[in-house]
Amino acid sequence: MSASISHFSPPFSESSIASPISVFPGAANNFQLSGGSRLVLHGGAGSFCWRFRGLKLRILKRLNRWQHVPANELKGIRNQDKVLSDNPSSNDEQYSEAASTISLSNGLAEEHTRKTSQPKTSTLPPVTTFSLNLNVDDNHGRPSLCIAVIGATGELAKKKIFPALFALYYSGFLPENVGIFGYSRKDLTDEELRSLIASTLTCRIDHQRDCGDKMDAFLSRTYYLNGGYDNKEGMSKLNSRMEQIEGGYRANRIFYLSVPHEALQDVASSLGDNAQTKKGWNRIIIEKPFGFDAVSSQLFTKSLLSKYEEKQIYRIDHLLGRNLIENLTVLRFSNLVFEPLWSRTYIRNVQVILSEDLSMPRGRYFDGYGVIRDIVHSHMLQTIALLAMEPPISLDGEDIRNEKVKVLRSIRELEPSDVILGQYKATSQDKVDVSLSSRTPTFFAAALYIDNARWDGVPFMIKAGVGLIKHRLEIRIQFNSVPGNLYRERLGHNTDLTTNELILRDVPDEAILVKINNKIPGLGLHLDASELNLLYKDKYNVEVPDSYEHLLLDVIDGDNHLFLRSDELAAAWSIITPVLQWIDQDNMAPELYELGGRGPVGSYYLWAKHGVRWADD
């Protein structure tokens, strides 16, 4: 580790450094000044790195020249602190022989000598700029972070995972020395994998600088391993290859399991036994659906927890990486205009809507799993949990997940009369899967109630479907009518059309809309329901990152609030299990609807039953 200090003269002499000084408590014996004006700091790397920020601040304080330190430098130091805090076990034994050096240039040393020879009344010359450049490479160019994509030749890996990793690398969110590993059963070389994924990599439209160089650098750090058909042997080979690239230095590992769901448990178990590093943290990413039913999910969770700690497991749902979802807590807890209104006192109903048109392809597993296991179980219920949860004590992921699971456990058991299932009618001429079983729902609508003091009696209406008229993802929060409204005679009989409403839209055009009543300009008193519109594409001239980028960055940072914890997973299964049982027992059959239409007619009646105005498509 080295750091260059420029644009100032250190206000201490060689003799003063050689004497015992307490830069860090209890660390006076760790500092010596060697020949050539080199300050050598002895001690374990684990205890040194997280204290280095204190050294920087102490130097600045002694100089009495506090000036702006670039935010990216401070963020880098904080990230080092976080990495060490994730690994409480000390590495001092392994690195006890290591030494770190802070070098002062000869010019600075000569200037320092001249300054110390002058009378004490002299002062340092005016300093107009100050920079402290910290270049840390404890691994001597070896990877400090390794990311392995298991199932690297699959469509998800090629179209989503590798492009997301490159986007993070290009934007500076991955270390320059990152190691990317592709693992599958195909017989490929490193170069063949690089050629396979190169065509899917793109640079940000808003900053194309050094795109080619960055892409070449990323691909040069991408490696391939043919794991064969024995997962235990394959994971051992992966571990050996990763250790070879890491060169014996400390490195963290992330494993993304992009594999068929029937192979997931064996792959995860073999990986846990044979490929985890002991020189850093390990994290594993698992794609949805998270089991076929409550029983299979519980068994898989039990298997995972026998190999990993809960904090290592990241159950990913790409829909939760949308900006709309990440913005929910910001809107709720940072705006006084919303938080006091966020209860049954002011909110009449909440609608969560996800509809996909024919342009949205479904995974091959969709038949048999259907919309309930694929979309409702994770995305819809997690959205409701984030909307309805109590304020967490902090923004720590565990604190947020603690509040989310309380909401899920408070959701009332569903009644058959409050659920509508549908299935699109398709022919061989339609570009969709026509082999769906007669019991696989492609549409789900339901009225959920949360039995707690905040939300008692407020219907949460959810609608999720595929093969509908258009792609749409939004949350609509409708408020109660104004008691004793003085303008009720001017509003007409249909007060639903003039009810205040907050609309959070992700697709087709990301926006935040607030529906209010106002007077139409002109003579006379005529009222109109208008929308205050924050359209993101007009306000923010930036390219919106893909949801996989958001979620992968969260995994790297250890932010798990958008990933399902095991108890959240179990609570979600308890909500939808009765519906799955009704389907299996033929007590509930999907209602057919036209492909490219608006969904089953029954969903309109369900909305009317609970006094909710249907949101027009």
Handedness of CA 72, 315, 202, 181 (dihedral sign): positive
Collect all residues with Cβ–Cβ distance below 8 Å to 32 and sequence separation of at least 6.
Answer: 18, 39, 40, 42
- Burial of 390: CB neighbours in 10 Å, binned 0-12, 13-18, 19+: middle
**Concatenated DSSP letters for 41-94?**
EES-HHHHHTTHHHHHHHHHHHHT------HHHHHHHHHHHHHHHT--S--TTT
Closest CA to 448 of 404, 413, 403: 413
Rounded Cα distance, 148 and 225, in Å: 10
Catalytic choice (261, 318, 377, 379): 379
Checking 297-302 for CB contacts under 8 A at 24+ apart, the result is 297/569, 297/570, 297/573, 298/570, 300/264, 300/265, 301/566, 301/569, 301/570
Strand-pairing partners, residue 459, are: 449
Residue 379 is a catalytic residue:
yes
Residue type, 590: P
Contact by Cβ (8 Å): 578, 419: no
Virtual torsion, Cα 254, 382, 593, 359, nearest 10 deg: -40
Contact by Cβ (8 Å): 318, 545: no
Sheet holding 347-356, edge to edge: 527-535, 511-519, 501-507, 472-479, 347-356, 459-466, 443-449, 419-425, 591-594
Contact by Cβ (8 Å): 338, 453: no
The alpha carbon of 487 is separated from its chain's Cα centroid by a whole number of angstroms, namely 46
Peptide bond into 289 cis (omega under 30): yes
Collect all residues with Cβ–Cβ distance below 8 Å to 599 and sequence separation of at least 6.
Answer: 355, 422, 443, 445, 463, 465, 468, 593
A 10 A CB-CB count for 559 gives 17
Q: What end-to-end distance do the CA atoms of the chain give, in Å?
A: 59
- SS3 string, 502-544, reads EEEEEECCCEEEEEEEEECCCCCCCEEEEEEEEEHHHHCCCCC
| φ, ψ (nearest 5 deg) of residue 504 | -110, 110
State the residue for tokens 């498509």. Answer: 617
- Burial of 440: CB neighbours in 10 Å, binned 0-12, 13-18, 19+: buried
Tokens representing 551 are 């979620």
Strand-pairing partners, residue 183, are: 150, 225
Residue positions annotated with a catalytic role: 379
